[in-house]
Amino acid sequence: MPRTVAIDGPAGAGKSTIGALVAEGLGYLFLDTGAMYRAVALAAMRRGFDPDDAPRLSELAKEIRIMIGPPTKQDGRAYTVLLDGADVTWEIRSPDVDRIVSQVARVPGVRDAMVAQQRALAGQARVVMVGRDIGTVVLPHANRKIFLTASASERARRREEELASRGERRPRQELLHEILRRDQLDSERAVSPLKAAEDAIVVQTDGLTVRGALDRVLAAIQRP
């Protein structure tokens, strides 16, 4: 089995859900790097920082403590995120964070700080790491690379269902607009743009259940 598994893909493709299940099944450490950038965005919001203020965001990324571990509550979470010791697992999924996280993640100093942490963790244990630049930048020598994707309309539908399960109602068209905007920002940023690594296995998940998507990803990981 590969020691390091990199799973990349656009917003809403199911990376966190599938990645956590893969890690659980293999007994590997799981790290959702997107949650780390969301935690930085949340910390910036709380301090009133402008999401385009690169120097302040870069310093912030170095100062805060972000921990991601197994779920500590049975409330639908795939993992628990701690920001300076406080549980922010659901706060980092708020619409306000959604709106600025791509801007925050574009800051080179923020990415440098997060990538250093991500590589250090990958060096400590067998790991399943998910994000947008894992196979291309963070772990370019990962033993197996997966690019998990789905159409924008499918991802908007899933996001609508996820929010509804937590009692939040938002129009699907609004969610689709946000997803398309994030796709554009993530793909066009100068530093670590979203793209499939040349040696990644692409897994399209439109129309698949979580179980179906998981089976495809596991089959891809276990290829000789």
Q: What is the pLDDT of residue 191?
A: 80
- H or E element at residue 163: helix 152-165
Residue 50 binned pLDDT confidence (cut-offs 50, 70, 90):
very high
CA angle at residue 69 from 63 to 72, to 5 degrees?
115
Put simply, whether the predicted model's pTM sits higher than 0.75 gets the answer yes
The CA-atom distances, in angstroms, between 21 and each of 59, 87, 117, 184 are 33, 21, 22, 28
Domains identified in the chain and CATH numbers: 4-221 (3.40.50.300)
- In sequence order, the β-bridge partners of residue 80 are 69
Residue 76 binned pLDDT confidence (cut-offs 50, 70, 90):
confident
What is the CB neighbour count within 10 angstroms for residue 164?
A: 11
Structure tokens at 156: 């908007």
- In sequence order, the β-bridge partners of residue 129 are 6, 31
Q: What is the pLDDT of residues 139-194, one digit of tens each?
A: 999 999 999 999 999 999 999 998 898 888 999 999 999 999 989 988 988 888 89
Burial of 54 (0-12, 13-18, 19+ CB in 10 A): middle
